[in-house]
Structure 1
Amino acid sequence: MQLLRVVGLIHANMLLLSSTIGAGIFVTPKAVLMYSSLNIPVCLSIWALGGLLSMMNALCLAELATTFPVSGASYFFLKKTLGSSAAFLSLWIKRFVHLLSIGAQSLLIASYLIQPFYSGCPAPELPKKCLALAALLSFGILSAQQMKTVVQFQTISSLMKVAILSLISVTGIVLLVIGKNENVSRFKNVLDAELPDASQFVEAFLQVYYSYLGASLLINIAGEIKSPTNTIPKSLMSGLSIVILIYLLTNISYLTVLSPQEIISSDSSAITWMNRVVPSTQWAISLGISVSLMNTISCGILSASRIFYCASQDGKLPFIYSMLNEHHSPVVAVFMIIILSSISIITSNLIYLVKYVGLGTWCINLMNMIGLLKIRFQKPDLPGPYKVWLPFIFGSIALSVFLIFTPMIQSPNIEHVYQVVFLFCGLLCYWLQTHLKRYDVCFDKITCYWQLFFNVSPSENQDKLINF
C-alpha cells in the first residue's frame, strides 16, 4: 500500500490554480491600490513583482520536492537536513495554520453563499456555521476518495474560476480598446500620480504576496505526481505565469470600469465590477465566485493530510494517520482534520488565532532555504536532475527575513510576542513527545480498533524510497 502517482502536468497546473487563486484577487486590489497612493503603474508593478518573487521562492521549494519526491516533502526534507526538531517545529506550525485556515475559509464561503438570502441585514451565525460545517464535511468525504476523483473536481472548479476572471479581463480590455472617454481617461497622466513612501510600498507588497500563496500544495503531494522531477518545476513556471497574467489583466479591468475611489470603497472589487457592467447577472456571478472558491477548502485538506501522513510515518503523530484505505487515501488523517477544523468553526473566535501563526509560515520557508544551502555544500554530488539557480536560494532567504521582520519593525505589538511564544511551545512539545514516546505501546490496541473501523492498512514507509 502506498500513495499512487496519478497527477500529470495538466492536472498539476489545475491544482496549482486551485490553491493559488483564492479570495485575494477579489478582495485584495482594494488594499493594494490604497497603499499604492492610487498610483496605477506602481500598483500594477507591485502585482507583477509579487508574482515573480513568489515564482522564485516556489522554484527553490521545487528542488527539495524533486530531491525528495515524497508526500509531505517539506517535512521529510527538514528531517533529513536540519534534524527531527526542525521537522517537528514545521509540523507544529502547519498543523495550526492549515486547521485554522480551513475553518476560516469555510466560514467565509458560507457567508458569501448565505448572504443573498438575508438582503439588507447580516446573516445569522447559526445557519452560517451549519453551512460551513456541511461544506467542510463534503470536502472531507471527497478527499477520502481516489486522487483522480479529487483532481477531476479541482479541474472543473479551476476552469470555472479562470472563466470568471477571464470574462472580467477580456471585457475590461475590450472597453479599453474601444476607447470610451471615461475608460481611457483613467489611464491618462498616470505617471504624474503621487508615489507611495517606503512603508506604504511594503504594506502593498505584503497584501499582494499573500494572494500568490498556494504553490506549497504541489510540494506536499510530490509523492503523487508523475515524473516529479520534470512535472513540478514545469507546472510551477507555467501555472504561476498564468496566475500573474490573470492577476494583472483583472486589475487593469477593475481600473478600466471602476475609478480608484470606487475600488477602495468596495468590499469586493469583482462584485462591484459586475454590478457596473452586467447588473442583471450580478447574483449569478456572485454565486459562481463563491462556488469556485470552495476548492480552496479541498486544497487545504489535501495538503494538510499529506503532512500528517508523512509525520505519522516518522512517529511524530499516531501511526494510524499513515494508513491508507482502498482508495489509497490517508482517510484517518482527513477525518482528524475535519474534526479539528470543525471545532474552529463552531468556536469561531479561534479563527482569529490564525494571525498569530503567520510568523511561523515564513520561519518554515527560511528553514527550507537553509536546508537547501546545507545539502548544496555538504552533498554537492547528491543526485538530482533539477537544481535551482543558487542566487534564487539567497533571494528566497532575503525574502523570508524581510517578511518575518518587516511587520515587527513597522508596527511592533503584543501579537509578535505571542507568535514567538507559539514557536517556543512547539519546541517544548517536541521535547515532551520525545520523552513520552516510550509509552506509545499502550496505544497499540486502540490503533488496531481504529484500523478495523476505517478499514485501512499500513503503507510503505517513504524512507525506503529515498537514498540519502
Structure 2
Amino acid sequence: MTEAKTDYKEVPTGDGEEIKKEDEVVGLKPKMTLLNGITVIVGSIIGSGIFISPKGVLQNTGSVGLSLIVWITSGLFSMVGAYCYAELGCMIQKTGADYAYIMVTFGPFLAFMRLWVECIIVRPCSQTIVALTFSVYIMKPFFPTCIPPDESARLLAAVCILVLTFVNCWNVKWATRVQDIFTGAKLFALAVIIITGFVQLGRGETQYFNFDKSETDVTKIALSFYSGLFAYNGWNYLNFVIEELKDPVRNLPKAIYISISLVTIVYVLANVAFYTTLSPAEVLGSEAVAVSFADRLYRPVEFLIPIFVALSTFGSVNGILFTSSRLFYAGAMEGQMPEILTMIQVKRMTPAPAVLFMSFLSLVYLGSSNIFALISYVGFATWISIGLAVLCVPWLRWKAPDLERPIRVNLVWPVLYIIATIFITILPMWEAPIETGIGVGIISTGIPVYLIFIKMRKPVWVKRNLSKLDIFMQKIMMVCQPENPACL
C-alpha cells in the first residue's frame, strides 16, 4: 500500500471528473510567467499581518514616525533576504527551497532542524494567529465597545480551522476556489483603506505623524520587528516552486523586486491611512485596528470592513493549509518526515494526512489566545532558520566556489542580513524572555527527535512495527503515494 501503480488508468477526482494518467510520470514543468511569480509572492505575503501588526509595531516603537520606519525597514530587510534567496534558488533548483539549501550546504541535521521549525512552529502557529484574527474581526461588530470573549474567539478560530481542514481534505478545487474568492476580499479591504487615507491626508489629518515618545530601548525596537516582519512573511514562497517558473534567472529577481516593493508601498500606505484617523492610544487600545478605523469613517456601513478583513484572514488560513504539503513532501523525500505525510487520499485526490497534521498542531497552539506572544514564537523561529539559509550564500562561495551561479549577489547583502538577523533574534530575549524561551524550547525538541527517529540505527523489530503502523494509517485514511509529486 505504499505505492500507487503506474500503468494507464483513470482516477476519479471526487467531483465526477476523470483524469487520465499514463505510464510516464509527469514532472514539474516551467509554466509560471513573471506575472504569476509576482502574484505568488504578493498573495503569500498579504494576509492578516497588516491588520494585526500595526498595534504590535507601535507598542514597541512608541511613536507613529518610528513605527513607519520599522515598516519600511522590514520591507527592505525582506527584499535583501529574497535577493540572497535568488542566488540560492537558481543555483540549487530543488523542491523545498531553504530546506534544500541548508541540506546541500550544512547537511541533514541542520536541514532537519529547519524543517522541524517550519512544520512544528511556523506554519501551524501562523495558522493559529490568522484564525484568531478571523474570529476577532468577525465578532467585533457584535462587541463594538468591548473585547470579544476569549473563549468565544478561540472556539470560533477552531471552527474556522476545522471547516477549512474539511474543505482541503475533501476537494482540491474547493480549496483553490476559496483562495481565489477570499484573495479578492483582502485586496478590496486594503484598497478602500488606502484610498480613504489619501482623502484624509487631503483634509490635513497629519497630527499624529511625529516622533514624540519614540522608544529608545533597542531591545524593544528589535521586538517591534517581529510584528513588522510577520506581516511580510511569505516572501520566500516563490522559491518553493522555482522549478515551475519560466526563465528563473531573469524572472525570479524581477518578481522579487516588483512584488516586495509593491507590498511595502501597500503596507506603509495602509499604516498612514490608519494614523490619519486613529491616535496612537486608540491603535494600542484596539483589538482590531481596521474595525476601529471603519467605526470612525464608514458609518452606517462600518460593518463591511471587518467582514472583508475576516474573509481575507479566512482565505489566509486556507492558503497555509493548501501550501504546506509541498514542504512535507520535500522532507519525506530526504527521509526526514513520516512517509504518510506525503500521501494523497485515493478517492478525493487531496493531501489529507498533511492537512490533518497541520490542523492538529494549529488547534494545540489555540491553548494561547495571545496573538503577539504567538507572533514572538513565530518570529524567533522564522528568522533564525531563514538567517541560517542566507548564511548558505557566503558559506558556499567559500566551500564550493565552482558551483554555477546564474545570479551572483554582492556578499555585502548576505552579511548585512545575517547581522540584522542576529540583532532581531538575540536582543528580544531580554525584553520577552518567556516567549523566546518557549520558542527555544520547542525548537530544541527537534534534537532528540532527529537522534532517535532519523540518526539512530533502528532494530529490525522497530522497523517492522513502524512499517505496520504506516500501513495501518494508510488503510484508515485510504491514502497512497502519488504517481506525480506535482499533484501535491
Report the residue type matching 2:216 in the other structure: D
How do residues 13-52 of structure 1 correspond to structure 2 at under 5 angstroms? 13-40=38-65, 42-52=66-76
Report the Cα distance in structure 2 between the residues aligned to 1:436 and 1:455, rounded to whole angstroms: 27
> Please, which of 400, 405, 410 is the counterpart of residue 426 of structure 2?
405
CA apart distance, 1:85: 0.6
Match of 1:296 in 2: 316
Within the alignment, does 1:78 sit opposite 2:78 as a pair? no
Match of 1:365 in 2: 386
CA apart distance, 1:120: 6.3
Report the Cα distance in structure 1 between the residues aligned to 2:146 and 2:197, rounded to whole angstroms: 32
Within the alignment, does 1:218 sit opposite 2:241 as a pair? no
Within the alignment, does 1:197 sit opposite 2:216 as a pair? yes
The structure richer in helix per residue is: 1
CA apart distance, 1:393: 1.0
Could you say if the C-alpha distance between residues 53 and 175 of structure 1 is closer, same or farther in structure 2, counting changes exceeding 3 Å?
Answer: same
Report the Cα distance in structure 2 between the residues aligned to 1:154 and 1:388, rounded to whole angstroms: 34
> Please, which of 425, 450, 474 is the counterpart of residue 430 of structure 1?
450
Could you say if the C-alpha distance between residues 2 and 429 of structure 1 is closer, same or farther in structure 2, counting changes exceeding 3 Å?
Answer: farther
Report the Cα distance in structure 2 between the residues aligned to 1:264 and 1:123, rounded to whole angstroms: 16
CA apart distance, 1:140: 3.2
Report the Cα distance in structure 2 between the residues aligned to 1:138 and 1:461, rounded to whole angstroms: 26
Match of 1:237 in 2: 257
Contact 1:164 1:289 in 2 (8 A): yes
CA apart distance, 1:292: 0.8
Contact 2:137 2:288 in 1 (8 A): no
Contact 2:345 2:479 in 1 (8 A): yes
How many percent identity over aligned positions? 26
CA apart distance, 1:86: 0.6
Report the Cα distance in structure 2 between the residues aligned to 1:264 and 1:127, rounded to whole angstroms: 22
Contact 1:36 1:204 in 2 (8 A): yes
Report the Cα distance in structure 2 between the residues aligned to 1:374 and 1:209, rounded to whole angstroms: 25
Match of 2:14 in 1: none
Q: Tell me the secondary structure at the aligned position of residue 480 of structure 2.
A: coil
Could you say if the C-alpha distance between residues 146 and 171 of structure 1 is closer, same or farther in structure 2, counting changes exceeding 3 Å?
Answer: same
CA apart distance, 1:72: 1.8
Contact 1:324 1:456 in 2 (8 A): yes
Stretches of structure 2 that go unaligned for 5 or more consecutive residues are 1-24
Report the Cα distance in structure 1 between the residues aligned to 2:101 and 2:26, rounded to whole angstroms: 19
Contact 1:220 1:303 in 2 (8 A): no
Q: 1:29-86 deviations in whole A, cap 9, x for unaligned?
A: 234345444353x332222112111111122223323333333222222111101111
Report the residue type matching 1:307 in the other structure: L
Contact 1:309 1:333 in 2 (8 A): no
Contact 2:34 2:251 in 1 (8 A): yes
Within the alignment, does 1:321 sit opposite 2:346 as a pair? no
Report the Cα distance in structure 2 between the residues aligned to 1:298 and 1:138, rounded to whole angstroms: 10
Q: 1:363-406 deviations in whole A, cap 9, x for unaligned?
A: 21222122222222222232342333321111111121112211
Report the residue type matching 1:440 in the other structure: K
Match of 1:465 in 2: none
Report the Cα distance in structure 1 between the residues aligned to 2:79 and 2:467, rounded to whole angstroms: 44
Stretches of structure 1 that go unaligned for 5 or more consecutive residues are 463-468
Report the Cα distance in structure 2 between the residues aligned to 1:392 and 1:222, rounded to whole angstroms: 22
Within the alignment, does 1:96 sit opposite 2:120 as a pair? yes
Match of 1:391 in 2: 412
Contact 1:320 1:332 in 2 (8 A): yes
> Please, which of 266, 278, 288 is the counterpart of residue 246 of structure 1?
266
CA apart distance, 1:261: 3.7
Instruction: Name the count of aligned residue pairs.
Output: 453
Contact 1:47 1:247 in 2 (8 A): yes
Contact 1:366 1:397 in 2 (8 A): yes
Q: TM-score, normalized by length of structure 1?
A: 0.83
> Please, which of 403, 406, 414 is the counterpart of residue 382 of structure 1?
403
Q: Please report the RMSD computed on the Cα atoms of aligned residues, expressed in angstroms.
A: 3.4
Contact 1:221 1:303 in 2 (8 A): no
Match of 1:53 in 2: 77
> Please, which of 293, 306, 309 is the counterpart of residue 273 of structure 1?
293
Within the alignment, does 1:308 sit opposite 2:331 as a pair? no
Within the alignment, does 1:443 sit opposite 2:462 as a pair? no
How do residues 42-191 of structure 1 correspond to structure 2 at under 5 angstroms? 42-97=66-121, 98-117=123-142, 128-129=153-154, 131-143=156-168, 153-177=178-202, 179-180=203-204, 183-184=205-206, 190=210
Could you say if the C-alpha distance between residues 149 and 412 of structure 1 is closer, same or farther in structure 2, counting changes exceeding 3 Å?
Answer: closer
Report the Cα distance in structure 1 between the residues aligned to 2:120 and 2:331, rounded to whole angstroms: 15
Could you say if the C-alpha distance between residues 245 and 310 of structure 1 is closer, same or farther in structure 2, counting changes exceeding 3 Å?
Answer: same
Contact 1:57 1:393 in 2 (8 A): yes
Report the residue type matching 1:71 in the other structure: T
Contact 1:3 1:329 in 2 (8 A): no
CA apart distance, 1:319: 1.8
